[in-house]
Chain A
Amino acid sequence: MNMRKLLYSIGVPVLLLFSFAGFAQDKIITGRVTDSIGNGIANVSITVKEAPARGTTSASDGRFSISVPANATALVFSSVGYAYREVPISGTTVNVSLQSTASDLNTVVVIGYGTVRKKDLTGSVATVSAKDFQKGVITTPEQLIAGKVAGVSITPNNGAPGSGSTIRIRGGSSLNASNDPLIVIDGMPLTNSDVAGVANALALLNPNDIASFSILKDASATAIYGSRASNGVILITTKKGVAGKPKFSFTTQVSAGMLAKKFPVLNTTQFRNLVNTYGNANQKALLGSANTDWQDEIYQTAISTDNNISVTGSYKQLPYRLSLGYLHQTGILKTGYLNRISPSLNLNPTLLDNHLKIDFSARASFSKSRFANEDAVWGANQFDPTQPVYSKSNRYGGYWERLDPLNTLTGLAALSPKNPVGLLNQKNDIGYANRLITNANIDYKLHFFPDLHAIVNAGYDYSRGHGNVVWDDSAASVYRSYTTPGTTIVHSGSRTQYKKDLKNWFGNFYFNYTKSIDAKNRVEAMAGIEYQDYLTINYGFNELAGDTAIVKRPKNLIDKPEYRIFSYLARVNYSFNNMLYITGSFRRDASSRFAPDFRWSNYPSGAIAWSISELPGLKNSKALNLLKLRFGYGVTGQQEGIDLYDYISYYDLSDVKAQYQFGNNFYQMYRPGGYYYNRKWEQTATTNLGVDYGFFNNRFSGSVEVYYRKTSDLLNRITQPAFTNFANTIIANVGNMENKGVEFTTNVTPIKSRNLTWDLSFNATYNENKVTKLDINGLPNYINQVAGIGGLGGVIANAVGYPRGSFFVFKQVYDKSTGRPIENLYEDQNRDGLINNSDLILFKSSIPKWFFGFSTNLNYKKWSAAFTMRANVGNYMYNNVATNGAISKFLFSSYLANQSNDVLNTYFEGQGYFYQSNYYVQNASFLKMDNVNLGYNMGRISRNVNLRLTASAQNVFTITKYKGLDPEISGGIDNNGYPRPRTITIGAGLDF
């Protein structure tokens, strides 16, 4: 059965049903929606009870106007974060007050394959809606919720425009497989693949189109996503069309980003002193007379704008939302930018007498990026500060470069860093990415059996990324670096291009049955099938020199890696008297990544919840509003991070540049690939115990959760003994790991009055990660070095009994009198008189033990102020910038280089294994103020126009002991990364 055809055949005719429509005699009702203290609430959805397709939303001051059929009896008010309410229509004015707390129990929460009232939840699900998002210029959706949810850490990868983040939910459950959570947009799971031509695939989703996030953390919530759910699931719900007259909303922001802090390198005076003290005569002679701060030369104040306009309303019977975003983000590293145009369309009709409900969305994104050459970051730290930017000669584009007269080929000192300004200006790296995500969710309530819904959700995610990288012919980095084969013709410059398509299909079909058996017993059940197909198309291109001579041909002109997942899924919820809730779910997945014998796997879960506050004696208590116990257990799986086909051996013919010569002939080589037939799914079992609480009219509310997650059959890259496989390492199911932790969330509203409200929210997470088995034999002291710096296996290892990603280093010995570390003098752990790999120790980890998030909002009349702070505690970082602060890294035979000013702390020569010292493993705990903002709601400035003004600052300050530039770097090794800017933003929003 071709699933694509099936989806077409169902989807297309349904979409054609829109045109049946017509209005009866209408009347207009106006009114205002306010919260419990009388402030207007914006964006409340208001629909007619008898005709859900008729609707509108409230303006920013809470006012609304809706046209209703003559026979309408009631209006329905709903909004994320507020209680749902039905109000009878009497006359033409309806004023309504909604109960307004985030912890309101009637709030509808999006969960896997459905929604549930918050009070019915049995699993660990956190929600963040638009009003709690991080503010400022946010170009990629996940950053909206950084620091907002206990157990979720979101680490921005770097400061480049549009750059993504590393997201970890409850510490990550895998070693070599992916630790990224599954991201689902409007029911459609996304691929983890990168889109070419843009810094980050998620940056192709406009954050302004997002209504809310649900984060599924424990297995009773995630197991319905089965094999992709071990690292948690993030459900993104986009803004929907709301019926009624067209309402426009326009927001604009202008921001200025600047370098928050410079890399700590030697200044010119210090540099001269060092060269004059330690250099030989030749090296001293290399000093120049200029005084250049290279960091000043490559960074800039980055002006960016973000503009969004949306309209929502209905065309005849068809509610719609249209939006258009235009982002222009400039990088603080000169030359870099991201331009993004992102139109989106949502259609949300209800047809066939409310039996057929359709949510259709199409969101597109067209981006153009220029990627600033990030080598300049390292280059600016390294380049000789006594030299000028320009050479007053035309060679190498006019940029001053270190010359070497003995180098007759290029005239350049071969290994010298290149002029960082030249690195930026002479490399033109332009990428384009287009993405279209379309999705239709069709919910049909059966005419002959209305308790049963048949639901089809189908989507297609298409992207094409392509780009060109052009180096100037005069650029020193590529100067005369190619020779035409068989000749002595030398070429400069370089032109490369790339193109990659992603075509991802998704479709599911399930039944949902809901039945209230009597006043107390309620059952909800669903069951269905799902199919996912992830196809990538990589195109190969010739690599050209600047004069278009071909210098390298692609190995393959086209390659189409693909994987598919097929699933059965089911879930049953039972509730008794709004007090006792039981959930069971089951999913059975098959993935093309595994051999037929190991393809299928089952993912069950179960959970139970008991609302103590519903007990007769407590039900109407004013002090205690909520006390609920939850317990859940479930199994989830993992199949990301492994090769697509390698359960059998495939032979690969080598590139024409990799041939072997017999006699006068060259032969391409057939290489057998490594394989592992017995590989199966990695499984994680999670136990979760939670308590939800709410006191004093829910002005003090929150939850506490305790979890234990055990991952077994870890997909782990292990050594294959010699002669047993064509690859010497392969990903096999070997090893166990556990995570245990506590999460604490609390929301407090200390002040709540007509003019003044003050909200606080705080979350804390403690997570302890431990590897418990790593090899087949279960050796207790097994250590697997995983990440090194350069080609060395050292500095980070996974070891039994220690957290994933522990540092693996020598223990430094210090000079007692000066306090300085003594180069290459380490503790001899095994007392054998030698310092070698047997003396390495496991020392700290890059993974924090504690995460904290703190947000507060203060509203006074038309003013609002808020900030968000985050802290990580217990994490360490290998400072690989400081490792270059050693004397020999400054002085070379034909050139000089600047380096970290840490040389003034160590005076290391830079010999031997000095960099494997735990001196370089530094405490990277931090407290950051991510965001502070101020808003003023001017209200109605003319008849139908509301105006809001905002100002905000991002990356406001960081308090840390860490000696490098920024303590927050994913992976535990601090190389010279693109620094994160400090950004100041002003914005305005108009509703009309």
Chain B
Amino acid sequence: MKQNILFISFVSVLASVSFTSCNKMLDLKPTNGVTVDVAYSTPLGYKQGFAKMYGAFALTGNQGGAGLPDISTTVIDEGNSDFLRMFWNVQELSTDEAIDNASWNGNTDAGLHDFHNMNWGAGNPMLEGLYVRSAYQILLANELIRQIGRLDERGIKGASADSIRAYIPEARFLRAFQYWVLMDCFGNPSFATEKDAVGSIMPPQKKRAELFTYIESELKDIENTLPAPRTNEYGRADKAAAWALLARMYLNAQVYTGAPRYNDAVTYAKKVIDAGYSLETNYNWLFLNDNYKCKNEFIFTINYDGQYSQNYGGTNYIVWAGSASDVGVNTVGVTGWGGNRTTKNLPNLFPDISGTADKRANFFKGSRNIEIVDRVADGYIVTKFKNLNRDGSLGYQLKDLGVGIDMPLFRLGEQYLIYAEAVLRGATNGDAATALNYVNLLRTRAYGSTSGNISSTQLTLDFLLDERGRELYWECHRRTDLVRFNKFTTSAYLWPWKGNVPNGTGVESFRNLYPLPSLEVSANKNLVQNPGY
């Protein structure tokens, strides 16, 4: 009996000891991960969180190249999940400026072929990816603002706290920029700010016009707190970036809200133009590996680096996908994937394709037809972006990677054209002579002389659309421009294979707006799909 009692007590003690201690043993932590309070315990930690917010533009994950992706590969594979790659595809491939290789990259195109054919649906992976990427950067901006609100409790005070607080207007700028992307492409996205803690709400839908008002008020609010133009670190937003975005939004306000705002467009374009920028002397330098030297013209850039900021998207994609092996490494700095080309409409905007007269013409013909007979191979190669330096030396060489060209999201040239177009469209606070002068500044640079300058009678809206093509092609403007000119879906302007027929055809007008991604619509019941989809 005594043995039995001893035995039972032994078992009970064992059981209770094991319960309490094992419960504690089940709290495990990762070797290399840190909690939010550890990550943000130092000013450097804040800067690294700040770097992630910006870096979500230029990198697709935490490894470089590909690896540890930000966006789940169930939506889109990592190489395709880069902001610029997706934004470029939706803005350029859907237009006359670019056409995909119909069999390019075998099976990994993620919905690429839908854009030029104009038959995308709500399940298109590229559209889903772009929506998720833009929302992700907004989420990072919201999170950073929330974490900056906790500086005091983390004991970060004084000057270092002040320099961290200065991140807030930049976070708000980036957020405004990505909301502009969502507004321009998707119209009516879901919406959250730093007031909505992660996971706390099911985000409501914001209608396009309401979103316009929100972005406008944000940009006007931070206009005062952002650093003066050209005083911030290269790659970070300043006042001019906010003005440039406002000018672009006002130019398109008729599309976004139904009400024109051309006077405001002139006001804000002028603010940028008067902020001390100047045109780079050589247009083609703007798209080279060492284009960080073009700070005189660039207002806001995505910074890439051949070694430290690399992914399979970005300018790396523009150059690799847009080139082919017969172009030659010495011409574009890479061997090329043989992907994107252009329809005849773009080279036909120029007096010649060799750049003899207008030096902005950067095309390579090889054995290709200018007419797209063969959708795999035909159409000229665009060699505007090159992995070369000004001195002709090669940029960083890495298989399928290595391109370090920075991407100007805003540059002075566009602001000149915004000013001119707003004036032509009836702005009363600008003048036609200045408008003509701005256009001719671009043309003088392009021709290397005044031989290409135009007269005031030649300056028409149609001319400006063509000039925007010549000046800004492959810089992610074309779809927005064609929509504004009502030429994107209509049969008023055609290009080869528009609407998936050889000579082009008009398509339904609802395609001026992309659909909200079906994954998002099914996950968030507040969302109402755009009409037509």
Contact = CB atoms under 8 A, between A and B. Distances in A.
A562 interface: yes
Interface in A897-930: 909-913, 915
A837 B325 contact: no
A529 interface: yes
A653 B42 CA distance: 14
Interface majority SS (helix, strand, loop, mixed), chain B: loop
Interface in A548-567: 555-556, 558-564, 566
A16 interface: no
Contacts of A591: 26
B102 A658 contact: no
B61 A658 contact: yes
Nearest to A537: B31
A722 B64 contact: no
Interface string A655-692: 11111111111111111110000000000000000000
A888 B105 CA distance: 11
B22 interface: yes
Interface string B393-425: 110111100100000000000000000000000
A486 B74 contact: no
Interface string B266-305: 0000000000000000000000000000000000000101
Contact of B51 (A409, A669, A788): A669
A728 interface: yes
Interface stretch (A247-255, A292-300, A713-721): A713-721
Contacts of B34: 650-651, 653
Nearest 6 CB-CB pairings of A with B: A657-B64, A791-B77, A650-B33, A790-B108, A660-B55, A722-B135
A217 to B, nearest CB: 30
Given A836-B121, A911-B375, A791 B202 contact: no
B109 interface: yes
Given A482-B398, A670-B45, A654 B122 contact: no
Given A448-B4, A728-B136, A894 B325 contact: yes
B30 A654 contact: no
A648 B106 CA distance: 39
A99 interface: no
Interface stretch (B249-257, B328-336, B440-448): B328-336
B31 A556 contact: yes
Given A661-B305, A791-B76, A481 B33 contact: no
Contact of B124 (A645, A663, A837): A837
A511 B108 CA distance: 57
A717 B74 contact: yes
Interface residues of B, number: 131
Most buried by B among A488, A658, A670, A727: A670
Contact of A792 (B50, B67, B111, B122): B111
B198 A728 contact: no
A574 interface: no
A909 B373 CA distance: 13
Contacts, number: 355
A645 B28 contact: yes
B492 interface: no
Given A662-B233, A666-B309, A911 B376 contact: yes
Interface in A752-784: 775, 777, 779, 782
A415 B103 contact: no
A1 B17 contact: yes
Contact of A834 (B75, B119, B305): B119
Interface in A446-463: 446, 448-449
Interface stretch (B189-197, B207-215, B222-230, B350-358): B189-197
A182 interface: no
B36 interface: yes
A668 B51 contact: yes
Contact of A408 (B63, B124, B330): B330
Contacts of B125: 791-793
B106 A408 contact: no
Contact of B31 (A3, A407, A561, A667): A561
A483 interface: yes
A1 B309 contact: no
Interface in B53-108: 54-55, 58-59, 61-65, 67-68, 70-77, 79-80, 102-103, 105-108
B171 interface: no
B21 A1 contact: yes
A718 B103 CA distance: 31
Contact of B329 (A409, A648, A911): A409
Nearest to A908: B103
B28 A408 contact: no
28 contacts: A282-B367, A415-B338, A448-B4, A483-B396, A485-B307, A566-B22, A590-B22, A649-B35, A654-B55, A657-B307, A660-B58, A663-B234, A665-B233, A667-B48, A669-B49, A669-B62, A718-B523, A720-B523, A722-B136, A724-B202, A775-B523, A790-B108, A791-B73, A791-B79, A793-B110, A793-B125, A888-B103, A909-B102
A490 interface: yes
B457 interface: no
B455 interface: no
B497 to A, nearest CB: 11
B520 interface: yes
B75 A655 contact: no
B139 to A, nearest CB: 5
B28 A564 contact: yes
A790 B107 contact: yes
Given A728-B72, A837-B124, A407 B335 contact: yes
Nearest to B39: A651
B119 A669 contact: no
B363 interface: no
Interface majority SS (helix, strand, loop, mixed), chain A: loop
A596 interface: yes
Interface of A: 1, 3, 280, 282, 404, 406-409, 413-415, 446, 448-449, 481-483, 485-486, 488, 490, 509, 511, 529, 531, 555-556, 558-564, 566, 590-592, 596, 599, 644-645, 648-673, 717-729, 775, 777, 779, 782, 785-786, 788-793, 834-838, 880, 883-884, 886, 888-889, 892-894, 909-913, 915
B236 A662 contact: yes
Contacts of A486: 307
Contact of B48 (A488, A590, A653, A722): A653
Given A663-B233, A790-B106, 10 more contacts: A558-B31, A563-B28, A564-B26, A651-B33, A651-B39, A659-B51, A723-B191, A786-B74, A838-B123, A893-B377
A597 B57 CA distance: 37
Contact of A722 (B25, B54, B203): B203
A375 to B, nearest CB: 15
A423 to B, nearest CB: 16
Interface string B36-47: 101110000101
A651 B36 contact: yes
A837 B122 CA distance: 8
B335 A409 contact: yes
A670 B234 contact: no
A53 B117 CA distance: 81
A629 B475 CA distance: 74
Given A409-B397, A673-B33, A724-B203, A791 B26 contact: no
B520 A723 contact: no
Contacts of B203: 721-724
B74 A566 contact: no
Contacts of A834: 119, 121
Contacts of B49: 651, 669-670
Contacts of B143: 672, 726
Contacts of B367: 280, 282
A397 B122 CA distance: 50
B326 interface: yes
A355 to B, nearest CB: 14
Given A414-B336, A652-B32, A724-B203, A717 B72 contact: yes
Contacts of B25: 564, 566, 592
B17 A655 contact: no
